[in-house]
Amino acid sequence: MNSGIGLFDAVPQDVMNFGQGMAFQPRKVPDLLGLKNEDVSRLSGISLSSVRYDDNMPEQMRDRLEEIGNTINMVATMFNGDVNKTATWFRVRNPMLGDISPRDMIRLGRYTRLRKFIINAMNTRNEKPVMA
């Protein structure tokens, strides 16, 4: 039996207190990762002048930040909700990611690859040998 990421684990607990759905607070994501407006513009595929955190925020930007926030929450669950360990994990170079930090992978537009890496690592960690 594989107890890895399941269908309903796609929306992890809100360990980092970003909020979910209508309560999502998008500014908290770049604040945690130390992303600049230029980074948010690039990873969202919007112009720099469109980066804003009010009711007129581009939907594309909100969606991408919410995706990233959900991924951060997945990592946070692996650290039992420890905010400092989670933030540190995203900022430290990781040899399994080509000696680049997860934060920089996000900044450089490699978010999808990072997310797949995290999900694969979580699945591998949660696999348990089947006893005959």
CA atoms within 13 A of residue 72's CA, in its CB half-sphere: 31
37's CB contacts (< 8 A; 6+ apart) are: 48, 51
Domain assignment present for residue 131? The answer is: no
Domain assignment present for residue 55? The answer is: yes
Domain assignment present for residue 26? The answer is: yes
Domain assignment present for residue 90? The answer is: yes
Q: Which residue has the higher pLDDT, 11 or 76?
A: 76
Confidence of residue 127 (pLDDT cuts 50, 70, 90): low
Average pLDDT over residues 99-127: 90
pLDDT at residue 123, rounded to an integer: 85
Query: Could you tell me the pTM of the whole model?
Result: 0.85
Domain assignment present for residue 2? The answer is: no
| Structural domain span for residue 49 | 8-126
Domain assignment present for residue 1? The answer is: no
pLDDT digits 0-9 by tens, 53-110 = 999 999 999 999 999 999 999 999 999 999 999 999 999 999 999 999 999 999 998 9
Domain assignment present for residue 118? The answer is: yes
Domain assignment present for residue 3? The answer is: no
Three-state helix/strand/coil letters over the chain: CECCCCHHHCCCCCCCCCCCHHHCCCCHHHHHHCCCHHHHHHHHCCCHHHCCCCCCCCHHHHHHHHHHHHHHHHHHHHCCCCHHHHHHHHHCCEHHHCCECHHHHHHCCCHHHHHHHHHHHHHHHHECCCCC
Based on the structure, what is the number of domains in the chain?
A: 1
The angle subtended at Cα 103 by Cα 16 and Cα 49, nearest 5°, is: 90
